[in-house]
Structure 1
Amino acid sequence: MTRAVVYTRISADREGAGLGVERQRQDCEALAEMLGWTIVETFADNDISAYSGKPRPGYLAMLDTLEAGNADAVLAWHADRLHRSPAELEGFIDLCDRKGVVVRTVQAGEIDLSTPSGKMTARIVGAVARHEIDHARQRMVAAHAQSAKNGGAHGRVPYGYRAVREGAKVIARVPDEETAPVVREIARRVMAGESLYSIAADLTERKISTPGSSEAWRASIMKQMMVRPTYAGMRSHHGVVTQGSWEPLISPEDHAVIVSLLNDPKRKTHRGVEPKYLLSGIAKCGVCGDPVWRLKSNGHSAYACAKNRCVSRRVEPVDRLIEAAVISKCESMSGVEDLVDASVLDATQEARRLRAQLDSFVDRAAEGELTAASLSRIEARLLPQIREAEQRAKSVLNPLVTDLLGSNARSRWEAMSVTSRRHVVRSLMSVTINRGGRGRAFRPEFVRVEWL
């Protein structure tokens, strides 16, 4: 009785159901029945390339079985299911030679590795398989380069998008209704100056789904996400950036700002201590002008100037006063035009339009449609206009503030982290705490708010 093991493998299981290895197994079992062999064990590696370099658990387990002398033969659908690496093939030949193992395939018949001619046949089959895969890789590289040039999507569908499929094939990626707003929120908060650690902590606390299997957001993963040109609707291939065929989640201009902020070497990369108090270091002392800090006073938390102790006001009523003022202000406004002058908005839009126009000329020059001299003349004309428009747009609106505008200001404020609330306060007002009053009763008139 010949004891045989069956080995099956498929490089890419596009159907995701293991149907490829199942069909191979059925053909091998039919061959075993025809030969009168008994199958003692079946090994499979589904969705694993023999050329990828990744460990193949099924293949390694089969080698252990052969080494232990528990099988006399190997059945495979084709020799290239076993190997596509010459080095791996040599190890297999040595094992089969030592153990007297016979190899039979459904497609190529018997490969007798105990004879010189059988070994030569196996090596020729392996060389042909290697030749085929090298050509396939060459075609794949060319296809990727052409796809990149045409702006086609590549790789896994990133967080913030979902796949549109035609059968098993992904034909497009579109913004995901649940996760795309998360990407946009992260972008706004980074541009507003909030740290990645505080954003990550807030998203984790709110139980927002993450890009991976972890339930907690990580600042390092968030940075990797936000510097990707994918979210600006662009694709990078070997350092060359082209316009993508999918809808961007953030504008190219905002993406450039985010990349600059996150790659700034002056930016803090350690966690640090996140603030716990709304006005600590923000509000000023009305006597000496120094910032006030949260200090202990008579067993209570108070805002006081640390140097001279000119003023001291309990934290809770001051915070309630400022929160009510911010919410009331934002509820009364319906859009950004209520916060900034229309000329500032016009200048911002003009600067972005000119930047986009210049970028299009640069792209045309890269494609050979414009000469370097022509591009230089265009830059000489557009760059001064861009700088002038950007100078007029010097009033930058905090995205966290725009999120608060309208009737839902209170609920949105309550959902914000302390760090985000502090950014809002800095953007909207200056707060001064004055000396005066006796007794423990809080008097709002000694806290002065000036809208910026």
Structure 2
Amino acid sequence: MPDKPQVRCAIYCRISLARLGDTVKVDEQELVCRRLAQARNWSVDPAHVYVDNSVSAWRHTVRRKGWEAMLEAIRRGEIDAIVVYHGDRLIRQPWDLEVLLRLAQAGTLLASPTGERDLGNPEDQFVLRIEAAVAKREVDNTSRRMKAKFDRLAEQGISRLGGRGGRAYGFEPDGLTVREADKAIIREVAGRVLAGEPMGAIVRHLNARGITTVTGGAWDHANMRKVLTKPRMAGLLVHRGEIVGDAAWPAILDRETWHAVCDVLSRKASTFSHATNARTHLLSGIPLCGPCGRPLAPRQNARGKHLLGYGCITPGCRKTHRAMHHLDAYVIGATLALLNDENVRKRLQPTTKDTAPLTAELNKLSQRREQVIAEFGDDDEMGADVLRLSVRRIDKRIGELRAEIDAAQAPALLTGLWDIDRAGWDVLDLHRRRAAIGTLLRITVWPSRKRGPGFDPSTVKLEPV
């Protein structure tokens, strides 16, 4: 009598959520399954051990790579049996069971510590369908209870953290307490984005400093943009995809700054595949034209295409143009002088000042400005005069508040640049040099009355910020 062929066994292990990529739970499942296969004298090929770690099975939109690879092996006829720790590790939805039953050959076995089923036997199929329906009902009930729980939390201004790092970036695991180290990074990055640094350069700098995400991974465009644009950063509560009000936790970014960062990133993301605002020239958009007040842009000199400079491109003005190599050198010298000035360094030491009260006042003034415009008509001369005076007074205070907020957030951009020399300056990335200049100086360029080559420093006004 010929020997009975040995059963070729596959092992499938899964856990829905593994914190920080932990594999302990699936390793324990595999150990139990191997003992079960050994007790049945089934062979286990290492190629047929399938694992889906930290992967849910109840959403059909979520891909389970281990599950899909196992189905493909069944389709090729390489597997006679499947061993799992429990049936719900393999199947949580009826449609998964139907896919498995269609692929399984007559005599294909499904084993777990609770028993054994033949996937080709109609009676066993009937029992498995009942168990799958019960599992689906359990999932639905759990989902309903969780939704009700989140509704109650939302009424208290609290939301679930989500994510796989055990906490939201910027906060402790309780979701309510700000983690100060993360807070400093978020504010630094927000300031650098608003100062014109490209996101790619920012995340490279963070990674080089050893700063990681909550899961210990590296930063990239996508995960940093996701963190910065979360309403949570501004102390806002999101429930079922909508901002529903103030949250129970404190804001890390004031709402004015948060909205500004979101605006920058959304505008750049609509133009580029990643959110970026990279420049190619040192002073592009930083100096202002004296006559019109608009930023200068790279322009060719009329005397030759090789004479690149910064010029006004505003229609009706176009009065200002300065050779790029002259203006760059002049501004670099002034910047290095400020970076080596101890008094400037003391004045711009990083601050822990909370800008939330300033932002609150700013928001109230902005609303007040709209109310004033709505209340005062311009039907008569007196009404127009009152309107202009009121709006001018409000605009002045708004400008002061914005300057104060910027001053509180800007010093982080200069970290590591104090006492730098020209050699150190020249090896910095362009974005860091631009950020330093924009933080330290307000540059205004006026038309020159002199003709011919050379540089007239009297036409360039440099004001320390």
Corresponding letter in the other structure for 2:230: R
Give the TM-score normalised by structure 2.
0.64
Residue 461 of structure 2 corresponds to: 449
For residues 389-427 of structure 1, give each alpha carbon's deviation from its aligned partner in whole angstroms, at most 9, with x where no partner exists. Answer: 5653334425586668999766499565465467458x7
| Secondary structure, aligned partner of 1:236 | strand
Q: Distance in 2 between matches of 1:69 and 1:100?
A: 12
Deviation of 1:240 (Å) = 3.5
Aligned residue among 18, 38, 53 for 2:42: 38
Q: Does 1:321 align with 2:327?
A: no
C-alpha contact 1:153 1:245 (8 A) present in aligned 2:
no
| Secondary structure, aligned partner of 1:428 | strand
Q: Distance in 2 between matches of 1:274 and 1:86?
A: 54
Aligned residue among 218, 229, 232 for 1:230: 232
C-alpha contact 1:151 1:244 (8 A) present in aligned 2:
yes
Corresponding letter in the other structure for 2:397: R
Deviation of 1:5 (Å) = 1.5
- Judged with a 3 Å threshold, the aligned counterparts in structure 2 of structure 1 residues 290 and 153 are, in CA distance, closer, same or farther, namely closer
Residue 50 of structure 1 corresponds to: 57
Deviation of 1:137 (Å) = 1.7
Residue 158 of structure 2 corresponds to: 151
Residue 351 of structure 2 corresponds to: none
Query: RMSD across aligned C-alpha pairs, in angstroms?
Result: 5.3
Aligned residue among 20, 24, 30 for 1:19: 24
C-alpha contact 2:9 2:37 (8 A) present in aligned 1:
no
Deviation of 1:52 (Å) = 2.8
Count of residues in Structure 1 that have an aligned counterpart in Structure 2: 399
Deviation of 1:105 (Å) = 2.7
Residue 9 of structure 1 corresponds to: 13
Q: Distance in 1 between matches of 2:107 and 2:56?
A: 27
| Secondary structure, aligned partner of 1:269 | coil
Match runs of 1:106-125 below 5 Å: 106-107=113-114, 109-125=115-131
| Secondary structure, aligned partner of 2:446 | strand
Q: Distance in 2 between matches of 1:28 and 1:451?
A: 73
- Judged with a 3 Å threshold, the aligned counterparts in structure 2 of structure 1 residues 80 and 290 are, in CA distance, closer, same or farther, namely closer
Q: What percent identity do the matched residue pairs reach?
A: 19
- Judged with a 3 Å threshold, the aligned counterparts in structure 2 of structure 1 residues 66 and 388 are, in CA distance, closer, same or farther, namely same
Q: Does 1:140 align with 2:146?
A: yes
Match runs of 1:235-246 below 5 Å: 235-238=237-240, 239-244=242-247, 246=249
| Secondary structure, aligned partner of 1:136 | helix
Aligned residue among 422, 426, 449 for 1:435: 449
| Secondary structure, aligned partner of 1:278 | coil
Match runs of 1:363-382 below 5 Å: none
Give the TM-score normalised by structure 1.
0.65
- Judged with a 3 Å threshold, the aligned counterparts in structure 2 of structure 1 residues 50 and 417 are, in CA distance, closer, same or farther, namely closer
Corresponding letter in the other structure for 2:15: S
Q: Which moved more, 1:43-52 or 1:151-160?
A: 151-160
Deviation of 1:3 (Å) = 0.9
Corresponding letter in the other structure for 1:101: T
| Secondary structure, aligned partner of 2:399 | coil
C-alpha contact 1:3 1:73 (8 A) present in aligned 2:
yes
Residue 253 of structure 1 corresponds to: 256
Structure 1 unaligned blocks of 5 or more: 337-347, 360-384
C-alpha contact 1:7 1:82 (8 A) present in aligned 2:
no
Q: Distance in 2 between matches of 1:429 and 1:392?
A: 23
Deviation of 1:130 (Å) = 1.3
Structure 2 unaligned blocks of 5 or more: 349-355, 368-389
Match runs of 1:31-430 below 5 Å: 31-34=36-39, 36-41=40-45, 42-47=48-53, 48-53=55-60, 54-96=62-104, 98-107=105-114, 109-148=115-154, 149-156=156-163, 161=169, 164=172, 174-175=178-179, 177=181, 180-191=183-194, 194=196, 198-200=197-199, 202-203=201-202, 206=205, 208=207, 218=221, 224-238=226-240, 239-244=242-247, 246=249, 248-259=251-262, 269=271, 274=279, 276-278=281-283, 282=287, 295=300, 301=307, 315-325=324-334, 331=341, 332=343, 335=347, 352-353=360-361, 355=363, 392-395=397-400, 396-397=402-403, 398-399=406-407, 411=420, 414=425, 417=432, 419-420=434-435, 423=438, 428-430=442-444
Q: Distance in 2 between matches of 1:18 and 1:407?
A: 40
